[in-house]
A = this chain, B = another copy of it.
Amino acid sequence: MQDLTRALLAGDPRALARAITLVEEGGEAGREVTRATFTRAGSAYVVGVTGVPGAGKSTLVDGLAVLYRKAGERVGVVAVDPSSAFSGGALLGDRIRMQRHCSDPGVFIRSMATRQHLGGLAEATPAVVDLLDAAGHTRILIETVGVGQDEIEVVESSDTVAVALVPGLGDDIQAIKAGILEIADVFVINKSDREGADRLQQELESLMSLSERGAGEWVPPIVRTVATEGKGLDELRQAIEAHAADPASRRRRQERRRAAALRRLRLLLERGLVERLGACLPLEQRLEALADQMARRHRDPYSAAEEILSEVRVTARRGKSG
């Protein structure tokens, strides 16, 4: 294990891949890797790219990776996709698109499948980002397919969130836009050579004009791209740099990092308490039996939870109770 973390911190890609697998598996070995490397991370700049399906997020991420490589950065890519164990996780399309980085040791790409993680994306993704960071990647791109609650939470912990939209995606677009409006630091209208790009830009601008913003606060710029042709990518990179350098955004970024840390800590605490409970009660059988009664509507969920909680005492050691 010490050899593994040493190799990881030295930037060895095979050690990194192995460590990521351990962290994804969610066992004690993964926790040990995190313990040993966590405080060595924190210097990478993390860019989250999210948005509607079909927005071309992979191509945008790919294009940004190329630009960062040209600037001498080491780039890590985490592709979070909602596909299941069924698909095996990684997307064939992504793999093909990313193949041109294959021979470049300065780019490390990892696809993560939603269902494979015990604690869900919310736990695994930040841990994987930390490992990439500790291994010396200076830019980390998180790509999320989907617009769900968890995915939003994942990109929210990024330093800059780029939200990708495309012209002409129909009805639900209003909902999506509203949902991601408040987390966007940069808007990207990709495939902007399509009909409807001007209208989409106007809609975005009018939505933004409705949101309340304090004096001096960052106003998300709208960048138009045609990622497949490389158009607008440098403007996107510049918009991200501008956000990174903006003083108000820096403060907000610190708050985001703290909020993400707090969520992560709460999750571990909840898990730890349930584990301890399981050590003093035959918990799984009890839960199964109560869930069965709930499914049959013989029992409501609160009284079921109360039944277990009534048998438990949570106390502080060393007289710290208040």
Contact = CB atoms under 8 A, between A and B. Distances in A.
Nearest to A28: B302
Contacts of A145: 147, 172, 175-176
Contacts of A302: 31, 34-35, 268
Contact of A86 (B182, B258, B308): B182
A298 interface: yes
Given A53-B172, A282-B322, A315-B312, A87 B178 contact: yes
Interface residues of A, number: 104
Interface of A is mostly: helix
A29 interface: no
Contacts of A308: 269
Contacts of A58: 171
Interface of A: 31, 34-35, 38-42, 52-59, 81-84, 86-87, 91-93, 114, 120-121, 145-152, 169-176, 178-179, 181-182, 211, 254, 257-262, 264-266, 268-274, 276-277, 279-282, 287-288, 290-292, 294-306, 308-318, 320-322
A93 B176 CA distance: 13
